[in-house]
Chains A and B, each alone.
Chain A
Amino acid sequence: MLDFLLSFLILAGAVFTFIGSLGLARLRDFYTRLHGPTKATTLGVGCLLIASSLYFSHQGNGVSLHEILITLFLFITAPVSAHLLAKAALHQDLPRVNDRRGHPRD
Chain B
Amino acid sequence: MSLRLLPHPLLTPMLAGIWLLLNNSIAPGQILLGTLLGWLIPLFTLRFWPEAIRIRHPWRMLRFFGVVLFDIVTANLVVAMRILGRPENLRPAFIELPLDLHSDLAISLLANTICLTPGTVSAQLSQDRRTLLVHALDAPDPEAVKASIKSRYEAPLKEVFETC
Whole-angstrom distance between the alpha carbons of A5 and B76 in the complex? Answer: 20
Chain A interface, DSSP helix/strand/loop, else mixed: helix
> How many residues of A sit at the interface, in one of the four size bands?
35 or more
Chain B interface, DSSP helix/strand/loop, else mixed: helix
Q: Mark A60-86, 1 if CB is under 8 A from B, else 0.
A: 001011101100000110111011001
> Interface residue count for B (Cβ, 8 Å)?
40
B88 CB to nearest chain A CB (Å): 7
Whole-angstrom distance between the alpha carbons of A40 and B135 in the complex? Answer: 16
**What are the residues of chain A within 8 A of B95 when measuring CB–CB?**
102
Assess whether B94 is in contact with A104, with CB atoms less than 8 Å apart.
yes
Assess whether A65 is in contact with B21, with CB atoms less than 8 Å apart.
yes
**What are the residues of chain A within 8 A of B135 when measuring CB–CB?**
31, 34, 86
Q: Mark B75-102, 1 if CB is under 8 A from A, else 0.
A: 1110110111001101111111000000
| Smallest Cβ-Cβ distance to A39: which chain B residue | B79
Assess whether B115 is in contact with A82, with CB atoms less than 8 Å apart.
yes
* B residues 1-56 touching A (CB-CB < 8 Å): 18, 21-25
A20 CB to nearest chain B CB (Å): 8
| Smallest Cβ-Cβ distance to A23: which chain B residue | B83
Is B156 close to A, CB under 8 A? no
A residues near B (Cβ < 8 Å) are: 16, 19-20, 22-23, 26-29, 31-32, 34-36, 38-40, 42-44, 62, 64-66, 68-69, 75-76, 78-80, 82-83, 86-87, 89-90, 96, 98-99, 101-105
